[in-house]
Structure 1
Amino acid sequence: MIRDLVEKSRSFRGYDPSYRLTEPDLLELVDCARLTPSAMNRQPLKYYLAWEQEETAAIQALTKWAGALQQVTLPHAGHYPPAFIVICQDIQISASLNAFLKDVGIAAQTMLLAAAEKGLGGCMVGNFVPESIREALGLPETLVPQLIVAVGKPDETVVLTGMPEDGSTAYYRDENDVHYVPKRPLAELVIPHTVVQAGADSRG
């Protein structure tokens, strides 16, 4: 069920070092992403697959994770993701990077849901310098890295929890390295009709 996959698909920042992925594994995920909707159906996204340890180490070194946890370095040494999918935009198809950010998000989430279906997990990583990634991978200037998706077998626990009394949405870890992610309640997210009507009345 889609809800089960959504609940399983967390942002994992620790992976089983003994579990390796192959090119066919990653191709299956990209094959799901290519079927998703695209703005104006331009389909400008291209995907760089990295599963060899030398390349994954190079990508890992150029990324920063869990910016909200300044006191912790993640992933922990020896628990790095065994594979990455670098989502790039082909500026020969469209040079407007902002116009296709929705495509990037849809593709990344689709791949992570597909990974969850296989018992895998991953994390969207956006904290990197695109030019550094492009140069490290030897990509042409026409391909601009937009988002990096880590993929592997998670070896950490991520728990969804309710909002604390102070309303903070900051994720945190306990003394056992369990990762907690506060989520706003459904009732807080749905705009009531009374608010919409009140706004319309105020405009006269």
Structure 2
Amino acid sequence: MIRDLVEKSRSYRGYDQSRRVSRDELLQLVDCARLTPSSVNRQPLRYYLACTPEQTAKIQPLTHWARALQPIQLPHPGHCPPAFIIICQDTNVDSSLQRYQRDVGIVAQTMLLVAVEKGLGGCMIGNFSPAEVAKALDLKPNLVPMLVVAIGKPDETIILTEVKNDDTNYYRDENDVHYVPKRRLEDLIIN
């Protein structure tokens, strides 16, 4: 079952905006994420939940998607995510931002797997300015945005393919189908 969730958990860049995501649904994602391991169990991460059109309108223009597909603008107009979770680190708990990078990845992946289980999907967005996001959301100085996670009902097709000629770049075809090359298992094992 976990393999099915992993295979369905893609970096979606197109969403059905008519399917709103509730605050309760976002709370369920964070509730699972808070149970994950944390470096020295410090648990310095905090979560800004955005699910109203007013909140998401502040965040969307501050994010930059699919740099490898430039000049294509993603998400396409009318296909933006209806919700975001901003993973922040509380520097009052620990000021070392680098130390908890693993924690950020663990909680983000956990939230995305839970989203898939609920018929949703998402995308981890690392291309943003933490200072701009903090200012737009009026975050306290001790809350540093570490990762933006888009959440919504996927409205695009993503197909996994095999890496050829060591080219791992994702791409889209003329029908806007998104292809993601993955390395073969035998190419990853050392021995």
Shorter-chain TM-score: what band? over 0.9
Q: Where in structure 1 are there 5+ consecutive unaligned residues?
A: 193-204
Partner of residue 135, structure 1: 135
Deviation of the 1:54 alpha carbon? 1.2
Question: What is the percent sequence identity of the aligned residues?
Answer: 65
* Whole-angstrom distance in 2 between the partners of 1:90 and 1:47: 10
Matches within 5 A, 1:44-63: 44-63=44-63
Deviation of the 1:71 alpha carbon? 2.0
Partner of residue 29, structure 1: 29
Structure 1 residue matching 2:68: 3-state secondary structure: coil
Instruction: Give the structure-2-normalised TM-score.
Output: 0.99
Amino acid at match of 2:77: A
Partner of residue 173, structure 1: 172
* Whole-angstrom distance in 1 between the partners of 2:23 and 2:166: 43
Structure 1 residue matching 2:128: 3-state secondary structure: coil
* Whole-angstrom distance in 2 between the partners of 1:98 and 1:167: 30
Deviation of the 1:42 alpha carbon? 0.2
Matches within 5 A, 1:147-186: 147-164=147-164, 166-186=165-185
Partner of residue 97, structure 2: 97
Partner of residue 200, structure 1: none
Partner of residue 187, structure 2: 188
Given the alignment of the two structures, is residue 7 of structure 1 paired with residue 7 of structure 2, yes or no?
yes
Deviations along 1:22-51, one digit per CA (max 9) or x if unpaired, are 110100000000000000000000000000
Structure 2 residue matching 1:18: 3-state secondary structure: coil
Q: RMSD between aligned alpha carbons?
A: 0.5
Instruction: Give the structure-1-normalised TM-score.
Output: 0.93
* Whole-angstrom distance in 2 between the partners of 1:55 and 1:120: 19
Higher Cα radius of gyration: 1
Deviations along 1:41-78, one digit per CA (max 9) or x if unpaired, are 00000000000101101100001000101121000001
* Whole-angstrom distance in 2 between the partners of 1:65 and 1:173: 14
* Whole-angstrom distance in 1 between the partners of 2:62 and 2:54: 13
* Whole-angstrom distance in 2 between the partners of 1:17 and 1:114: 20
Partner of residue 110, structure 2: 110
Deviations along 1:157-199, one digit per CA (max 9) or x if unpaired, are 00000012x210000000000000000000011101xxxxxxx
Amino acid at match of 1:146: M
Deviations along 1:66-122, one digit per CA (max 9) or x if unpaired, are 010112100000100000000000000000000000000000000000000011000
Q: Where in structure 2 are there 5+ consecutive unaligned residues?
A: none
